[in-house]
Structure 1
């Protein structure tokens, strides 16, 4: 007579049984950083990928990788275009993600249409990859008050400067979706500096206690503005922080787009099927300054930057695809032309002068305008009318 094996209620125990490992092995990140393609574009053999039982990742399909590479090239071109727009005075500030584009492309592509993405101020490439029009993404960086895009249209939270607040918003959306019985996964992005914030603790603890389908994605670029990681955390890795909250963590090479797609893809699938949070740490590098207002030479030297330029995610992915016969000269030219079209449209849009209505100062302050604001708006309207009729 066959014996029925009961399915454990605990999602961590259930997931560990799926992979044939102990819950402790499931929760701890793999001993090696997950990597599938080395900086030269060589596909690594399985024994060099940092995997171990329960941490194996299948190679994404060729068409998926080629499509991701196109998003990667567009992201790099937009980053460089935005840096030029700042120098031209068309943008007030821009936090470049030059060097981190692979993390952002993978974060957006691993989600389904109804899933939510909560980005940081640096994650413009992720927001674009999720489907938001580039001009709408960038308008916030030239000071437009409305933030540029409707978060509900693409299920993308608004980028904002306060550090780590988006993690709390992400957890709230995931909690609401679970209460409604919706099939929704939320991916919440943050940097290594955010892991030192109280909001980080509160978000992870709440998500773990209430077993919410959230993937916390930490882009560890080594610096919180000018503060190195060594002065923020003594943990073996940021992924190890997950264990203290009762969730699984994983480390991945943040400049390896192939490994990122595989690792984040499985994290999203597990969050969806097990209704539990996971933490993924990607080790990457911000090759340019924190923003155009930052002097990165004051806290890091050129040799360090050059070391990471050799690990560039764009050149790595290009070499891999070409070596696998998935990318030829014609495809490369097509992708470059498409990226240039995006940059040109962005440039034209940002060069157009914004038509400012001073009376917007009095709108959206209160649901019902106060008598004082109404009086002030009338005074301004009279002054504007006099200017229009003045000879």
Structure 2
């Protein structure tokens, strides 16, 4: 493995994050220490202008490739209403995987017709909600779900637009826990069963099959898995049409990866090229469901050093006030995130290896091991980079720790978008049976 990137290398790859000689670490022209001073730590900070810039880069890549692609932001990556509102204003629809996400998207002003409802286990109540508001498309993931959706649609006199989600048996080459398109993964319908089920969908009342959907995983760093999956979909479209079926749309899913450490990442232009080469000439409307690529680099988690625990003949433990209940990805996936001091003076200190951990009572509560970092002391503050996706949305209140506050920065100004709840809120809705009183 290559050495960890230096501070200069981390910032050099992230033009939206910079170190000012006086103000310290900045995100979208806002000093992050100002947010930490006002809200305390841990605190999530999201850059609205970074979201806009990344959306425009993605949309621009499709325009350059002469592809008309509807963009449905994957709400699961970061579901805050402010994030949804920024992306909605840029023209994004939403890809949702629960009734709660559907309601969030609607609350953010995203029109029902711009919403795609995905997910392997939709309840009857969730399907009724989707039918009732008339979402643009429901991605059906099994024969069993298709039959349920038909009955629910007929019961209310509606016709639901559906796409069958294909499991193409393609390995995305990413982490095992975020691969979704291999045989044996729980997602989608085996590609060999699609022709039979598509024909059956056309015969079922209350359903209007309009196309196919595919999503092979997350954090994909190469074009080949996309090309293989899209080629399989193109072949299925051809076979369906030869059988007399109507196919008007292909939902290409998400999965475009980002660079957390120094791993390679695939550009939107490369993804657009894969779509152009495999699907561009088959006469379908194209859609995409990006999540991580849009929001991960736009977010940071600010934390303070509680103490530095020294060890003999081993790196010290830098104990932060942020923990695995705030940012789960390192504990869950072994994921790597850059860690940068907020103070310009701290950033200039000599570097040495350290273990960065949280205070939660779990051995797995850590963010980095043997990380080369400037020497840190109690009271210093750091930013954990690229936490805008699968960060705050996966938080919990484990160890009775309230959820962290959240802030949005935007072109030199900032606002609190979620206050830190008081600890008493953790048991506000709990009751004790009378016989225990």
TM-score normalised to structure 2 length: 0.29
TM-score normalised to structure 1 length: 0.32
User: Which of the pair is proportionally richer in helix?
Assistant: 1
Instruction: Indicate the structure whose relative CO is greater, using CA pairs within 8 Å and at least 6 residues apart.
Output: 1
